[in-house]
Amino acid sequence: MTVAEKIRTIAADARQASFAVAKLSSNVKNELLMDMAMALINNAPHIIEENRKDLAAGEKRGLSGAMLDRLMLDEARIKGMADAIREVAALPDPVGEVTGMWKRPNDLMVGKMRIPLGVIGIIYESRPNVTSDAAALCLKSGNAVVLRGGSEAIYSNVAIARFLKEELAKRDLPDAAISLIPFVEREGVTEMLKQEAFIDVIIPRGGESLIRFVVEHSKIPVIKHYKGVCHIFVDASADFEMARDIIINAKTQRPGVCNALETLLIHRDIAETFVPFIYTALTALDVELRGDEAFRQFAPEAKVATEEDWHAEYLELILSAGVVDDLDGAIDHINRYSSLHTESIITKDYANSQRFIREVNSGVVMVNASTRFSDGNQLGLGAEIGISTTKLHSFGPMGLTDLTTTKFIVYGDGQVRP
């Protein structure tokens, strides 16, 4: 079989398996997940052995220490993967939920019921835990999944998927419900992206270049986020200490992630006092500031921000900073440069907090809180399957519910249309 034929077969089998998974009761799904968690722990030695092959190949290929660390599995990490599966088992099952029901004038009862999407395609890089995390979330939401991990983790991913599949087979369920593409040719990805007859949605997890590649080549809808250029606006009425603590947390607590702060906007009325205050606090923590002219008036040692800086997702200890005339100026700046990820206002002013919430249309909009809370777990969705910065289907951090859709259900007693 060619790569194209193999991929088509995998996708078609996953579609067929999806019908069986969609019908499973919550109890059966939860028992399956608990057994899968146990299977990973029981088979940790074998998974670690396979992982060693990936590590050896990675060293040979000259992967960085950080990359190798991300790839590495040991008993503790496998226990972490098992715990994550158990957490998914503990989440409420979205499938079958009736989100509303109403009566029509002709006595038809019309409602909407949550159902699985069908088959989810996940394309991801390096970390092997994504294999079990994504499989668990897809199973719990009644979907089949086609997983395509990075070539650098192929032995680990195949081993993990094998033990998950075995639990399906033990219960006479089609193990194609958890499918992993077991070879590394790049062609596998492009062929996978053509299976619109069998795969309902693609969720890429990885860097911007992976995501752009997937969007460019996919015939299947893609739920994506390219980057997070998160803003904090310090309003004229802000409590300085609260603003400082939130800004420091948002910028420095974990600078390498998409919900870290990248641009700071400051109300002109407080610039004279707040700019030196925050400049001192941030530089003490080794944050490099790049300011506009007005910012540098009160912090002359700051570097100069160029147009590029307002678009930048630094992912390191650099922060662009500008002074705006008022709330409208802040909203205009955000509308212009936002990646639609997360923005926060620091204010004591009721009306401004309400306007910011209403008028800033990013996936997550906050008042007096750190952008670092923009995460499915932190917002209370349970485990996160991804994050969307486009508005169709899902917007913002995505949990189990985002792997479902709703159908209309109609209960009649013989109604016909006049």
Summarize as ranges the residues that interact with its own copies (CB under 8 A): 19, 22-23, 96, 102, 104, 108, 110, 113, 115-118, 200-201, 221, 239, 242, 245-246, 248-250, 253, 335, 344, 353, 357-359, 361-370, 372-374, 378-380, 390-397, 405-417
d(CA 226, CA 416): 49
Distance between CA atoms of 36 and 161, rounded to whole angstroms?
10
Q: How far is the CB of 360 from its own copies (least distance, A)?
A: 8
Residue 71 or 381 having the CB closest to its own copies: 381
**Quick check: 363 and 226 in contact, CB under 8 A?**
no
* Cα dihedral 323, 327, 329, 332 sign: positive
In this structure, are residues 332 and 311 in contact, taking their beta carbons and an 8 Å threshold?
A: no
Q: Is 156 or 371 the residue whose CB approaches its own copies more closely?
A: 371
Helix (H) or strand (E) holding 321: strand 318-324
Q: What is the dihedral of CA 217, 219, 223, 228, to 10 degrees?
A: 30
Write down the least CB distance from residue 245 to its own copies, Å. 6
Nearer to its own copies, 128 or 376 (CB): 376
CA atoms within 13 A on the CB side of 371: 31
Q: Which of 145, 130, 194 has its CA nearest to residue 17?
A: 145
Distance between CA atoms of residues 156 and 162, nearest Å: 10
User: Would you say 134 or 164 has its CB closer to its own copies?
Assistant: 134
Nearest CA to 159 out of 78, 232, 228, 263 is that of 78
Q: Are 382 and 405 in contact (CB under 8 A)?
A: no
Q: How far is the CB of 370 from its own copies (least distance, A)?
A: 5
**Residues 149 and 180 sit within 8 Å (Cβ to Cβ):** yes
CB of 301 to its own copies, least distance (A): 26
Specify the residue for token string 């099952």: 93
User: What does the alpha-carbon distance between residue 64 and residue 152 come to, in Å, rounded to a whole number?
Assistant: 12
Closest CB to its own copies among 88 and 201? Answer: 201
Smallest separation (angstroms) from its own copies to the CB of 81: 23
Rg (CA), the chain: 24
C-beta closer to its own copies: residue 6 or 112: 112
What is each CA distance from 118 to 23, 73, 139, in whole angstroms?
Answer: 11, 31, 10
Q: Which is nearer to its own copies, 110 or 236 (CB)?
A: 110
The distance of closest approach from Cβ of residue 3 to its own copies in the complex, given in angstroms and rounded to an integer, is 24
Identify which of residues 74 and 196 has a Cβ nearer to its own copies in the complex: 196
Residue type, 38: M
Nearer residue to its own copies within complex by CB, 54 or 93: 93
Query: Measured from the CB of residue 228, what is the shortest distance to its own copies in angstroms?
Result: 14
Note whether 54 and 156 are within 8 A (CB): yes
Closest CB 111 distance from its own copies, rounded Å: 9
> Cβ 143 to its own copies, closest distance in Å?
10
Strand, helix or coil for residue 274: helix
